[in-house]
Amino acid sequence: MSENAQEPGQAQIQDLQDQVADLQQQLQSAEAAPKPKGHWVRTFWSTVLIVVACILAPLSVVSVWARGEVTDTSRYVETVAPLAENPAIQDAVAARITAEIFKYVDVESLTTEAVAAITQGRDLTDQQTAALQALAGPVSQGIESYAADAVNKVVESEQFEAAWVEANTLVHQRLNESLTGQNTDNAVKVEDNQVVLDLGNLIAQVKEILIGRGFTIAEKIPTTETTIVLFNAPNAALVQTGYNLLNTIGFWLPLIAMALAVIGIFVAHSSHKALAWFGFGLVLAMAVAAGLLAVGRTAYLAELPDTVNTAAATAFFDQFTLFLRQSLWAGAAGGLVFLLGGLLLGKGRAATGIRSVPVRAAAAIQGWLASMGLRMSGLRRTVASQATGLRIAVALLALAFVMLQRYKTPELILWTTVGLLVALFIIQIFASDSPESPRTGEAPAASTG
């Protein structure tokens, strides 16, 4: 190639390089230029609103959970009902009932008296007498084992499950009466700053079984209000104040937090960045709250009195707070969805590339439908004209669905997000321009907006 032929090409390359340099300089100048006053004002208020919303989010979860568990007897009973089949709870209840029975049935004295009655008036050698007296210990152990077997039979039966539900229903109702100041007697099962469960009904069942088996000495067991500690309530006045506070803010706090987050995102100069930061803050706040709950669990169990069965208390605490833990991690999962959504809505090359994948897939499906004769021009035009509104509508429906669920779990967030993405993809299919349009002369049915 001649030197004259190369010069025009080099000149064009140089011209393009100069244009690129000018554009880069203009871009740097634009970035270095001071932002308008309104930009910083919007950013400030958006930041404040989003931070407050992130702080209120875990408090909202706790208030909703506590309001449900503390003020709603049916929800509380539904939560603790599975504990009737928990081995730690069964062992603790069985041990407490057995101990109560043998407060009134002195097995050792009974066996000693029985041996004495057998030996009395009989011509027995010293060796024979010693042998009979030596049987007192095994006989005593046998009677104790016999009684314990009857207790275990009751504790592992369906009757125990029914009694457990009935007793927990009663104790929750009485606890509510105590916290609201409605109780007019001393029957409330709150003793020494502890919430306890009455086992009197179960002891009566064990008594009937023992008598039915011929262990008539069980008739000595009186009707008693034997209890087992469910959890500590160290400051009754503080608990009562918290109860009233929950009734006041438990319903409104989540709505306030949600409203602040929505306003903060729309006030921001860059909504997609605000959404991403809100998602990050939500994940962080929920994780911190879950960590504090774990620390509180350790501290609570460490301060239990020696008279409380630690294994049973641990099982009860874990079951009682199960839905709180699930709700906190569900909130973190929701925050992760917001974070990814905010990042994908950005203008970066990666975000644009990722968004283009479902757009191209939707357009390809639309073209395949058109090739099958399913053009649906009217439907496509309608969806295309209302695409943004439809996307907002399905997103709000997904949010409303999650909020209406009684128990919010990470799985609920995951599958709701999957359903939302599927709905958005279907909207995109009908909002896409059909590749067949240029060939058929048909006007494009929709945009990919």
- How far is residue 217 from each of residues 144, 208, 211, measured CA to CA in Å? 13, 11, 8
pLDDT in tens, 246-288: 667 777 888 898 889 889 988 888 888 888 899 999 999 999 9
Sheet of 227-232, strands arranged across: 190-191, 194-198, 227-232
pLDDT in tens, 173-221: 877 776 665 654 443 445 556 667 777 777 777 777 777 766 666 777 7
SS3 state at 228: strand
Cα(415)–Cα(224) distance, rounded to whole angstroms?
51
Q: Is the pLDDT of residue 137 over 70?
A: no
10-24, 173-187, 384-398, range with greatest mean pLDDT: 384-398
Domain ranges of the chain: 76-242, 349-440
Cα(361)–Cα(354) distance, rounded to whole angstroms?
12
Sorted by sequence, the CB contacts under 8 Å of residue 349 that are 6+ apart come out as none
Q: DSSP E strands: which ranges in 150-282? A: 190-191, 194-198, 227-232
Contact between residue 353 and residue 435 where contact means Cβ atoms under 8 Å apart = no
Cα(274)–Cα(325) distance, rounded to whole angstroms?
27
pLDDT in tens, 279-327: 999 999 999 999 999 998 998 888 877 777 888 888 888 988 888 898 8
Contacts 24+ apart (CB under 8 A), 173-177: 173/73, 176/70, 176/71, 176/73
Report pTM: 0.69
